Structure 1
Amino acid sequence: MEIIGATTLLLIACIFFILLSITQARKQKKKGKLPPGPVPLPILENILQLNGKEVFKSLNKLSEKYGPVYTIHMGMDPVVVLCSCDAVKEALIDNAEDFGARGHMPLLERLSSGGHGVVGSNGERWKQLRRFSLMTLRNFGMGKRSIEQRIQEEAQFLMEEFRKSNDRPLDPTFYFSKAVSNVICSVVFGNRFEYEDKDFLKLLGLFNEIFKGFSSVWGQEKDIPETEFHMEGIVNTTFDLFIAGTETVSTTLRYGLMILLKHPDVVERIHQEIDKVIGGDRAPCIEDRSRMPYMDAVIHEIQRFIDLIPLGIPHKVTRDLKFRDFNIPQGTTIYPILSSVLQDPKQFKYPHEFNPGHFLDDQGKFSRNDGFMPFSSGKRICLGEGLARMELFLFFTTILQNFSFRSPVDIEELDLTPLMSGFGNVPRYYQLCLIPR
């Protein structure tokens, strides 16, 4: 009887899987000619082809077999993956309107009440929130002297904190979180927090944990409701600005110092450029950037090399469309893999090495590169790009104007591979000594 029962259960399971596969095949046929991809299994879909710890590497690997535009299945729905600089540019820039909607991100929606902030919203709500955010940043001085002065002031507070270390090893994690978050606070609230404020530190700890959470959680498409612009949208957009504005820039600064610690030759060349252009009698200003091609190239290469958001943020198509001879139905989730752009060998000679020469021409002048896309591109490009670029230049340059670096351990022991790698790349913990110049 037990054998008969087990056989019956096995038969039922087989019939179930066959029917499910037939249903999926019919659904796929109705959707038209999607890009090729691995055959999905019943229930599991393509989950076995994805390494949960390094999803973007699994996606890049699949592109070697199926090409730069391919399909995977997650949660019963197809996801179209874009995995090269050319493919991402063609979608997000050349066809910006068609690929301009936001795809589903479960954690983001839980944090912002169903995607009501500027990052996760769609349709008319997104247009109004983005317009509101850009207008607010402009009103608070974005692109003007007032924002620059706020960053310069905060950079000097940060220098004071660094000097208190008296050459002793320190972990820069929360130093950068405090400084960068205070820039956002000064924009939003018109005031900054003292670095030892307990409530401030608690908030920064929460932001840090949320970013780590993002680095291990990602998902596929689900329709996002479109409602009128209201106070909830403003609150969640402010929350988006704090999370994105604090963790992305502070993590780039932290990761960047670790890279510079491992490349003392790069630090020496930056010091020479700072001494020539700025000297030691005044604070760096944003106008200096155009006269400091090497510093500019180093910051660009730091952003490219650390590949902070390797998966990008999901998009979805706004209508049925034909893309590279494939038919993509309206509402299909799109993953523009930014890692594949920042490490595209067609764009960068040494894609897996840190090399500021990627952004310098033969005369040593700064050279732009189409593969530089850490802020994404198209209609959904990061609205805080201008602020982030200003912060990175002023903070990095001010630190290097005032300090040299020393590692408490042999620099060969410094591991530049991420501690966590999912939605975001989180650097390993390290310490450094800041030696006044």
Structure 2
Amino acid sequence: MDFNSIRKTAENYQKDMTQFLRELVRIPGESAEEKNKIERAKQEMEKLGFNKIEIDPMGNLLGYMGEGERLIAFDGHIDTVGIGEIENWEFDPYEGYETDEEIGGRGTSDQEGGIVSAIYGAKIMKDLALLNDKYTVLVTVTVQEEDCDGLCWQYIIKEGNVRPEFVVSTEPTDGGIYRGQRGRMEIRVDVKGISCHGSAPERGDNAIYKMADILQDVRKLNNNGADESTSIRGLVKMLAKKYNPEWKEARFLGKGTITASQIFYSSPSRCAVADGCSVSLDRRMTAGETWESCLEEIRQLPSVQKYGEDVTVSMYEYDRPSYTDLVYPIECYFPTWVIPEEHQVTTSLMQAHKELYGEERKGSKGTIELRKSRPLLDKWTFSTNGVTIMGRNGIPCIGFGPGAEAQAHAPNEKTWKEDLVRCAAVYAALPTIYCQK
């Protein structure tokens, strides 16, 4: 391949990519409200000459470039979170701004910039005749990720019968190549009590007091070490070979965590003993942990055992309709995933980056110093659609995308024009390198 031509072609599209991204930012589109954003992305695919474009019943946009036998996909979710407190913004989050280096606005890093680079990466493949009978490129513009990461891909794989050979997540990677992430799940703990008049609390059984005991044990699970002297060994134990066969990848991803995120109660009045209390637990999982192991871990806490049948530990389910009114229920379980360093997908993406931009992270003037001190091959802190692509379905997944993870969900969100260009170029080179191995 002529890598110089790939770089130059990507640079020549910078103005087009910038305009496209700014137009996407101007269209509000939180989870289950993405219709207008999807239609705008579809128009761009039509303009650039994608071979086949379709919107599935859930509302995901699938654009195919080329007609080869092997299917290689690039994924980006088009929904955004809300803007939060407007006073924290220094500019209009939906109008955004543009400088010589930056593009500001809600969704620029998380993660519409990745969609822009993927669509133009496919266009570069077409321009430079990189497409051949070996592969077809699929760019997916997906919905509801912010609400329920991976739901869109569970539908694409199971209902659409679409199964790529591998998928590149275009979530922001701050100039790095990311090969995994911790998983997460949403756990609910319900505790029953017996109400009575608040003037004689001894007549009742206060569910809030029971929950207080349970939360103390949950806290120990998060904070304790793995020493034999403690009855509740902390989640850090999964980094030890003794407790986890996947301890090496667990150390790469980092230990799991757990925290109480919501609390609810039921009581006849403010003058009564509470007869019910529930909490939501945010559980982040490292390699080697499953939903069964995480639920059982809570069920085995001393306080949960103490209160017996009065305690129920379960997992939430997501069933919000998409913007097309389709309901596709799924457990709120988002598995850990990690692709090995030596995997063909990993080595192919590393090679594409090396041929085009070298073996260190790249960045603009404002980002380069912080980026180049970090390893090129790394991991996400947050969760992505990879939880379903690889976590649930075993399809190899890897990450490389414009923008920065720290910009996600933050006020004054921005991305960098150079990132859009670099990612589009690397995307364009990757399929050919992969198919040659």
Give the number of the structure whose residues are more often helix, by fraction: 1
- Report which of the two has the higher share of strand: 2
TM-score range for the pair, normalised by the shorter chain length: under 0.3
